[in-house]
A and B are shown apart, each in its own frame.
Chain A
Amino acid sequence: LAKTTQPISMDSYEGQEVNITCSHNNIATNDYITWYQQFPSQGPRFIIQGYKTKVTNEVASLFIPADRKSSTLSLPRVSLSDTAVYYCLVGDWDTGNQFYFGTGTSLTVIP
């Protein structure tokens, strides 16, 4: 299994950019990296997915270095509503290990 490691928690002030890093040293060639956001008592919500280099969508950016052993989720100008738990998942459908969640990072945005 491509195990992931994330910081347990982070705090940030409103309006700042937040970067959450995930380590996945054993990532396989076919593995994709996916980030989810979860609010209390809700199902996870897809944020972004990538394989290498940089991916950007309307809510976040995902930076993946050349060795792919880590990835960084970047949230620009966070607001109070971004307070949530963020999960990094690594894997593909063939290996099946993208279904396993790690501890996640609890982000608290402070006014």
Chain B
Amino acid sequence: GAVVSQHPSWVICKSGTSVKIECRSLDFQATTMFWYRQFPKQSLMLMATSNEGSKATYEQGVEKDKFLINHASLTLSTLTVTSAHPEDSSFYICSARRFGQNYEQYFGPGTRLTVT
């Protein structure tokens, strides 16, 4: 149990276009989902926290107008990278907190974004 999926697993897009990444909790309801970004050889950096039905909370330095997060249901959160640029190329990982579960995050497999 406690499986989190992401789609797509990898995507290549042209500079200036927008890309949407989906994060789904497959077998549980997630009250809170988290989005991370990871550059090569670096640790995970928390970008934002999203709660179902409310606006996401962004970490300092993360542009909320560039990284749009929607948490429309208890099993789905989406991250849209708007007007992507090559510097947005990274590995994006989501995680979910199971409703009623206190201290564990369940991570998705990640999405590799390459902006050309």
Binding site for B on A (CB under 8 A): 32, 34, 36, 41-46, 49, 87, 92-93, 96, 98-104
User: In the bound complex, do residue B103 and residue A41 qualify as a contact, i.e. CB atoms below 8 Å apart?
Assistant: no
Given A41-B112, A99-B34, A99-B49, also A49-B102 (CB < 8 A): no
User: In the bound complex, do residue A43 and residue B49 qualify as a contact, i.e. CB atoms below 8 Å apart?
Assistant: no
Q: Say what secondary structure dominates the interface of chain A.
A: loop
Q: Closest B residue to A94 by CB, please name it.
A: B102
User: In the bound complex, do residue A42 and residue B110 qualify as a contact, i.e. CB atoms below 8 Å apart?
Assistant: yes
Given A93-B97, A99-B34, A101-B44, also A44-B103 (CB < 8 A): no
Across-interface contacts of A43 in B (CB, < 8 A): 4, 6, 93, 95, 107-110
Question: Could you list some 30 contacts between A and B, CB below 8 A?
Answer: A34-B103, A34-B104, A36-B107, A41-B112, A42-B109, A42-B110, A43-B6, A43-B95, A43-B107, A43-B110, A44-B44, A44-B107, A46-B105, A46-B106, A49-B103, A49-B104, A87-B43, A87-B44, A92-B102, A92-B103, A93-B97, A93-B102, A96-B49, A99-B46, A99-B49, A100-B46, A101-B44, A101-B46, A102-B43, A104-B43
- Range of interface residues on chain B? 20 to 34
User: In the bound complex, do residue B103 and residue A93 qualify as a contact, i.e. CB atoms below 8 Å apart?
Assistant: yes
- Shortest distance between the CB of B93 and any CB in chain A (Å): 5
Binding site for A on B (CB under 8 A): 4, 6, 34, 36, 43-46, 49, 91, 93, 95, 97, 102-110, 112
CA distance A59 to B107 in the complex (A): 18
Across-interface contacts of A49 in B (CB, < 8 A): 103-104
Q: Closest A residue to B36 by CB, please name it.
A: A101
